Amino acid sequence: MSSMQSNSSANVTFVRPATFFLIGFSNIPYVKYYYVFLFFVYVVTVLGNSFIICIIYLACRLHSAKYIAVFHLALSDLCGSSAVIPKVIDTFLFEHQDISYEACFANMFFVYHFMNLQSLTLLALAYDRLIAICFPLQYRAIVTKPAMFLIIGLMWILSVTFFSVFEGSMNRLSFCGSNVLDTYFCDYGPIYRLTCNDTSLIILLVKICYSLLIFPPLILIFISYFCIALVLFKIPNGVDRIKAIKTCNSHLMLVVIFYMPILSNTIASTIAPLHPNAWIINNSLTQTIPPMLNPIIYTLKTEEVMQSIKELYKRCKVNTTIEIRVKCRRRN
């Protein structure tokens, strides 16, 4: 094991490795092609989410409470992918598999923090659709820009507080054996399995994370769409019903893409232990594919966004034409 560091306070000594060693995949030929694939996923993620952020910022018609949440989702997707993919590529494609203790814990915090923000933002968008369809006359009075900023602020406070407490508890564990992590990023599971003292508090916090931060948003989203379905069945006009359903399509697709892999991995791991390689593939795709697809879905499936893109394109075209004419006049 690498050199050890000891911190002592209140007569308690915590033994920590200077570095961790990430193993990643084992005995897979041509595995570097997978990291190249993740690189292209990251490029598409950065371009797509940056595009959505710019469109929402530039298009005045998108300056509404709903698109504040969409803007936040794109930002969370961008930051979440940036917390995972560049580090994975640097670690395994360029073989920098040693990571310092502090950097490892920082990586763990940002990965889980932004995944949690993605989940909570999907809940905020479900709340937006619930009010829009079930209480259309009160929508503009209830779902306001200040209200959405408040919701996003509360998300950040909740997430940062919880994961700060979680990491503070992890930081009080001692590592008396190996410093080798059988994973591709600094995941809490492989880390606490290397400790040699009581981990009951960590296990409790993990259960709280699942019971308060993972499953409740999904359950509340399900309840909101159940209420929406009840209202839609009461609409006598089929055309109006289809219009209302179309406003939910993009959000429903985002929910399925985000939660289905998480639920599948959770169920699969409870039925039988996954092979480490299968676990890495499942989790890495779960963390990286939804942020790549989200901006594509919102661009192609949301009429307001498509209309805003067309308007911005026409505006740029007109401005370019005017600039060319002005330059020609100056030359003449």
Query: How many domains does the chain fold into?
Result: 1
pLDDT tens string 204-258:
877 777 766 778 899 999 999 999 999 888 888 777 788 888 888 889 999 999 9
Is 227 a domain residue? yes
User: How far, in Å, are 53, 56, 172, 295 from residue 63 at the CA level?
Assistant: 11, 7, 45, 17
CATH number, domain of 289, equals: 1.20.1070.10
pLDDT score of 74: 95
Task: Give the residue from 116, 115, 145 showing the smallest Cα distance to 128.
Answer: 145
pLDDT tens string 115-165:
999 999 999 999 999 999 999 889 999 999 999 999 999 999 999 998 998
Range of the domain at 196: 4-301
Query: What would the DSSP string read from start to end of 152-203?
Result: HHHHHHHHHHHHHHHHHHHTT--B-S--EESSSS--HHHHHTTB-S--HHHH
pLDDT tens string 172-193:
888 877 888 888 888 888 888 8
Is 316 a domain residue? no
Residue 5 has pLDDT above 50, yes or no: no
Is 332 a domain residue? no
One-letter amino acid for residue 323 of the chain: E
DSSP run (H or E) holding 99: strand 98-100
The fraction of the chain above a pLDDT of 90, given in percent, is: 40
pLDDT score of 278: 83
Is 249 a domain residue? yes
Instruction: Identify the sign of the CA torsion 49, 281, 169, 217.
Output: positive
pLDDT score of 331: 63
Residue located via tokens 């997707």: 77
The answer to whether residues 81 and 288 touch, using CB atoms and an 8 Å cutoff, is yes
Is 263 a domain residue? yes
Q: How many CA atoms lie within 13 A of 170 on its CB side?
A: 25
The answer to whether residues 49 and 78 touch, using CB atoms and an 8 Å cutoff, is yes
